[in-house]
Chain A
Amino acid sequence: MSYQTFDIQRSITRKQTVALTGLLLILFVIAHLAGNLFIYGGPETFNGYAEKLEHLGPFLKIAEWGLALLFFVHVERVTVLIVQNIRAKGGLKRYIVDNSKGPRSWATRLMPYSGTYLLLYLIWHLYDFTWSNHEGSRSIINGKSYGLYGVVVNSFKDPLHSWLYVLAMCFLGLHLAHGVQSFIQTFAFNDTHVTRGLKKFSRLFAVAMVIGYSSIPLYVLYVLKV
């Protein structure tokens, strides 16, 4: 019988592309958190870490463009899948009674919305921290410039700024709670024994990320004295 290999248009291949880019983005999420936690070490430690990153030069550029590409592929492939899914079920409205028999969770239902919020937040976050002037008026605490550390602390002293960040991290948590277990199923690391632990692990990881990230603005807002 004839068959065609390396067909990237197949639904399963498309899903696995989403899962793989998702995994790489999760690695970024972990690494980014690890870097952010340097803020607890004070201005020298945090700015020192930021400078080390800057000194990577071309490697940093490659990493940045790589990340942008990952985000693009992840979003583009998912968009194709969503459009196909809407078409497959014959439009947005299907059954008049919405009554699921299975384990469909809110994290799963909200995947496209949590993803969209995260993407919009990400663009603002880049504009806010990465591309902003790290030596300007926003970096000054008590008349002295503290560089990126100052920018972060001044930003998070504003409750709205902090809580928008925490909200984004809650959406990240929802996205990861489904995403991690979905990755494992799609790549079949569970093909012989699916465990309940899988979903539990996915949720625990998501909660850990939410707590890790959210601790920073909340620490600056409520604990840190300047």
Chain B
Amino acid sequence: MSKKINLTLKVWRQKNCQSQGGFETYQAADIDTDMSFLEMLDVVNERLTREDKDPIAFDHDCREGICGMCGAVVNGQAHGPMKETTLCQLHMRHFKDGQTLVIEPFRAKAFAVIKDLSVDRSAFDRIIQAGGFISIKTGQAPDAHAIAVAKDKAEWAMDAAQCIGCGACVAACPNASAMLFVSAKIDHLNTLPQGSAELKARTLNMVKQMDQEGFGNCSNEYECEAACPKTISVKHIAKMNKMHRQSNLR
């Protein structure tokens, strides 16, 4: 049975990346507990629009937890308090009636605020581009069996490939480091025989791009893993550390 709750929202409002932002307080009244967090923001925005006020800008797309577009920091936690959840899959039943929620954008120097809760994550795209291409033709679906891949390696690569690039790892990292994202992207290709031909160039170039984008350094605090909606493991960071060392020295 769904019920209705009332919330107080303290939302970060910022016109653009040049302007100074600040918190605004809104009442979110009569919120159905079956709503997702984004649907709750939709309701608040509809009311703001009716009052002729500027609606809160936030990123969203698929709303089923697989695109990596949405994301905000709710009460200091990226994607809110639940584990393994994107903001669109976070339901209002996890909040109490009368609770105050502080909603902030993912903060990092490399993620400039576009407007309000919407941030520019094109730094991630440039890291992917720096990784370059895969030269081996993988063929059609039946050809997938042509190259044998050990079960554990296939699993490992698939675990890494789950990354949706939402940026929660950067938002949650006390140093705004992108190591979890980059390690997942590097590792899911490097682990497979089809991707290992460019292992060295991919590893070195993607890490270099990561540094140039102004992300911080990993200090092994594992906050990224806890915030990741796809439970990417910090084991991939260890693996990237190793691959980078080996590629750097050879």
**A interface, CB within 8 angstroms of B:** 1-7, 9-16, 81, 84-85, 87-90, 94-104, 108, 111, 178, 181-182, 185-188, 190-194
Residue of B nearest to A94 (CB): B107
Q: Are A102 and B227 in contact (CB under 8 A)?
A: yes
Q: Which residues of A contact B239 (CB under 8 A)?
A: 188, 191
CB distance from A184 to the nearest CB of B (A): 8
Q: Is the CB of A111 within 8 A of B219?
A: yes
Choose among A89, A102, A191 the residue that contacts B175 (Cβ–Cβ < 8 A): A89
Inter-subunit contact A98/B76 (CB<8 Å): yes
CA A194 – CA B236 in complex, angstroms?
10
Cross-chain pairs A/B with CB under 8 angstroms, 7 sampled: A1-B132, A4-B204, A88-B215, A88-B216, A90-B107, A101-B172, A182-B219
Choose one: A96, A98, A101; the contact of B226 (CB below 8 Å).
A101
Interchain CB contact under 8 A, A89 and B201 = no
Closest Cβ of chain B to A202, distance in Å, is 10
Pick the 7 closest A-B CB pairs, nearest first.
Answer: A102-B226, A99-B76, A88-B216, A97-B76, A188-B242, A85-B175, A102-B223
The answer on a CB contact under 8 Å between B172 and A194 is no
Q: Is the CB of A108 within 8 A of B240?
A: no
Q: Which residues of B contact A182 (CB under 8 A)?
A: 219-220
The 8 Å CB contact of B248, one of A5, A90, A94, A101, is A5
User: What 0/1 readout, one digit per residue, does chain B (71-96) give for beta carbons within 8 Å of chain A?
Assistant: 00101111001010000000000000
Distance (whole angstroms) from the CB of B129 to the closest CB of chain A: 12
| In-complex Cβ contact of B244 among A10, A84, A100 (8 A) | A10
A85 contacts across to B, CB distance below 8 A? 174-177, 216-217, 219
CA A7 – CA B201 in complex, angstroms? 13
Query: Complex Cα distance A3/B102, Å?
Result: 44
B109 touches A89 (CB 8 A): yes
A98 to B207, CA, bound (A): 29
**Which residue of the partner chain, among B77, B83, B214, B235, contacts A190 with CB atoms under 8 Å?**
B235
Bound-complex Cα distance A73 to B53 (A): 55
Which residues of A have CB within 8 Å of B241?
A: 12, 15-16, 185-188
B126 at the interface (CB under 8 A from A): no
* Residues on the B chain within 8 Å of A14, using CB: 217
By a CB distance below 8 angstroms, the chain A residues around B249 are 5-6
- Bound-state CA distance A103–B222 (Å) is 7
- How far in angstroms is the closest Cβ of chain A from B226? 3
Q: A88-B177, A194-B238 are in contact. List 6 more A-B contacts (CB 8 A).
A: A3-B200, A12-B245, A13-B244, A96-B102, A99-B76, A187-B242
Given contacts A10-B244, A100-B223, contact A194 B174 (CB under 8 A): no
- Does chain A have a CB within 8 A of B56? no
**Chain B interface bracket (under 10, 10 to 19, 20 to 34, 35 or more):** 35 or more
The residue in chain A whose Cβ has the minimal distance to the Cβ of B241 is A188
Structural contact, B216 and A84, CB atoms closer than 8 A: yes
Contact status B207-A88, CB under 8 Å: no
Known: A89-B175, A90-B107. A102 touches B221 (CB 8 A): yes
Please measure, in the bound complex, the distance between the C-alpha atom of A181 and the C-alpha atom of B75, giving whole angstroms: 29
- Considering only CB atoms, which chain A residue lies closest to B211 in the complex? A11
Given A11-B211, A102-B223, residue A192 in contact with residue B176 (CB < 8 A):
no
Q: How far is the CA of A182 from the CA of B179 in the complex (A)?
A: 14
Contact B221 A104 (CB under 8 A): yes
Docked Cα-Cα span, A85 to B175, in Å, equals 5
Of listed A2, A6, A100, A181, residue having the most chain B CB within 10 A = A100
Give Cα A126–Cα B220 distance, bound, in whole angstroms: 31
CB atoms of A5 and B247 under 8 A apart: yes
A101 / chain B contacts, CB cutoff of 8 Å: 77-78, 81, 83, 172, 223, 226-227
- Closest partner residue, chain A, to B213 (CB atom): A88
**Quick one: given A85-B175, A89-B176, A99-B75, are A185 and B81 in contact (CB under 8 Å)?**
no
Q: Kindly name the residue among A3, A9, A14, A108 whose own CB sees the greatest number of chain B CB atoms within 10 A.
A: A3
* Contact, CB under 8 Å: B172 / A4: no
User: Are the C-beta atoms of B242 and A191 separated by less than 8 Å?
Assistant: yes
Q: Is the CB of A10 within 8 A of B110?
A: no
Q: Is B198 an interface residue (CB 8 A)?
A: yes
Residues of B within 8 A of A6 (CB): 248-249
